[in-house]
Amino acid sequence: MKQAKRKSNSAERDISIVLCGGAGLGIQTVEQLLTRMLKMSGYYVFATKEYMSRVRGGSNSTQIRVSDKPVQAPVERIDILIPLDEDAVSHVINRIDRKTIIIGDKDRLKTDREVIDFSFLDIAKEIGNAIFANTIAVGLLLGLLEGDIKEGKKYLKNYFTQKQKEEFIPDNIKALEMGFEKATQLIEEKRINPERLSHIKKSREIKGDLLINGAESVGFGAIAGGCNFISSYPMSPSTGVLVFLSQFADDFDIIAEQAEDEISAINMAIGAWYTGARSIVTTSGGGLALMTEGISLAAMLESPLVVHLAQRPGPATGLPTRTEQGDLQLALHAGHGEFPRIILAPGRIEDAYLLTQKAFYWADKYQVPVFILTDQYTMDTYYNINNLPVPKGKLKKFIIKTKTDYQRYSFKTVKGVSPRGIPGNGEGFVRTDSDEHDENGLITEDMDIRNRMMEKRMDKMNLIKKETISPELIGSKDYKILCVGWGSTFHIIKEAVEKLNNKDVASLYFKQVFPISEDAIDYLQKANQIISIENNYSGQFAQLLEKSTGININARILKYNGLPFYADELAKEIKETISGKGGKK
């Protein structure tokens, strides 16, 4: 099938597609099929979603960006909108304009906007069943974007074969082909002007890329970090990590336990570390609230612990399926008493993989809780990445073989880290106690020992600070204005700053948020204006940064409605903040 050669009249080098409708209409299926087919066609793709906390109904949307260069952030702009129910257009009404191409069944939509009438349902019925409407939508979009229909059919066969539903393959391929042909028909009939879709070049090199989301990346990082035990209670949006590791439990000798609640989950994880395993818990804000006593227990036992905290808006149940960076202060202060901890916040898919490995390494090395802070946006977002590096060499562990005179909490340590033995590995007796204890792990209220034991535990921070990860400067080294972000906002801030095309503006990305690297001071002191950008109400990281460095943050750009920033939206806000017309002081 030949299609008219297209000319680009767009300043953008990508196309933003949004599918919108109620839960249960198959939006996620379209997203999964289309993104894989477009990637196999040679395009860079990015996808993320926002959805309501319900099994059916509501208004949910998925954004897919397609480009000939890496795209890794959402934009507010919508080039093609596929509304799947009558409320869909109104749900995204603030994001569409006269350039937006809306394709859908006019009779089923409540809108006075111009709509290209196209009934996915009626065409599906020609094939024999309404369930093929989603595959027709995939074929239509694949055709409009000049995707590779052969690769599309190949992926469709594999998709249903893996699901052991081979009987659905012929009709779904027919639906894909019909959707693809309808795309050509729409263009030939001039119902869609091809020049409204910018032409995007394909690349063979992209076909072999990985396409994984944040939950899978954390899961891969845990496996690479030697994780062999996960105990958690399901809680959106963290559950993806539990599901992922459960699926690969047999392949990598992982015990995956769905505990009866979060209190049990974290105590199981601590128990697993005590016996020599490498364990993780994955949870969200409400779950971490229940785990805080366990975190304090790990600190007193000087047990390693890895906690994956996927943030969502609170307080209480809040917006359980939405995103926010609102739990930094919770992770910073979770647990009673004082003890060292490390907090990591990946912003790239690759960083989620590498930092999760690092979390296991540091937890084991320093015998402290290590938090990995992601959020719903990170968990449900994916884009092309070339590869994930496989760790080289033998995994380093910090367990010793004990002797008869072994003391679990010996004061003869290097900066507070007593050698860690485990039961059965040597001749020594491994005692531990949640109360204050002496070097042998026996309960004590001796005040001198209390002081020495507290100082030993806190002394670890001096070692940890020597290994902190420096923030990354993105953009000109001769900046005057510095946009500071952490975790999941990395790509969004990066693209927003690029859109400004202003050599005076650069961004600083923190992937370790506690303790903060001293290198941050040099970056901050150099700037005339510092703008903090965060997905929360009060600027939690800006507060921590000011306290840690003593440097004032001039302005804050904050978003806390449950959605991530959009790159184009953020670019406007940064511009207004620089001019003094925007930003919170």
pLDDT tens, position by position, 452-481: 999 999 999 999 999 999 999 999 999 999
- What pLDDT shows up at residue 12? 65
Taking only the tens place, the pLDDT of each residue in 379-394 is 999 999 999 999 998 9
- H-state helical runs in 284-405: 285-301, 328-333, 349-366, 376-379
- Evaluate whether 218 touches 350 at the Cβ level (below 8 Å): no
The per-residue pLDDT for range 441-453, each reduced to its tens digit, is: 999 999 999 999 9
Which of 476, 475, 505, 472 is closest to 486 using CA atoms?
Answer: 472
Range in 114-128, 211-225, 228-242 the model is least confident about: 114-128
For position 194, what pLDDT does the model report? Answer: 74
Q: What is the pLDDT of residue 198?
A: 65
Q: Is residue 575 a contact partner of residue 567, using CB atoms and an 8 Å limit?
A: no
Q: What are phi and psi of 577, to 5 degrees?
A: -65, -40
Q: pLDDT grade, residue 204 (50/70/90)?
A: confident
Q: Are 84 and 21 in contact (CB under 8 A)?
A: yes
Note the pLDDT of residue 190: 87
Mean pLDDT of 483-487: 98
The pLDDT score that the predictor gives to residue 11 is 55
Q: Is the pLDDT of residue 9 over 90?
A: no
Confidence (pLDDT) at 193? 79
Separation of alpha carbons 1 and 180, rounded Å: 9
Q: Could you tell me if 346 and 486 are in contact, meaning their C-beta atoms sit under 8 angstroms apart?
A: no
pTM of the model: 0.95
Look up residue 224 and give its two tokens.
């690479």
**In this predicted model, what pLDDT tens digit does every residue of 129-183 receive, in sequence order?**
888 999 999 999 999 999 999 999 999 999 999 988 899 999 999 999 999 999 9
Average pLDDT over residues 304-310: 98
- Count how many Cα atoms sit within 13 Å of the Cα of residue 85 in the half-sphere of its side chain: 16
Contact of 574 with 555, CB cutoff 8 Å: no
Spatial separation of the C-alpha atoms in residues 531 and 579, rounded to whole Å: 12
SS3 for 113-178 is CCCEECCHHHHHHHHCCHHHHHHHHHHHHHHHCCCCHHHHHHHHHHHHHHCCCHHHHHHHHHHHHH
- Average pLDDT, integer, range 85-90: 93
Condensed to tens digits (0 to 9), the pLDDT of residues 536-553 reads: 999 999 999 999 999 999
Of 140, 40, 160, the closest CA to residue 81 belongs to 140
pLDDT at 70 over 90: yes
Is the alpha carbon torsion for 342, 343, 347, 350 positive or negative?
A: positive
Q: How confident is the model at residue 264 (pLDDT cuts 50, 70, 90)?
A: very high
Query: Whole-angstrom Cα distance, residue 546 to residue 110?
Result: 49
Is residue 8 pLDDT above 70, yes or no? Answer: no
Residues 6+ apart with CB under 8 A from 162: none
Grade residue 5 by pLDDT with cuts at 50, 70 and 90.
very low
Residue at token pair 């959402």: 74
| Angstrom distance (rounded) from CA 247 to CA 249 | 6
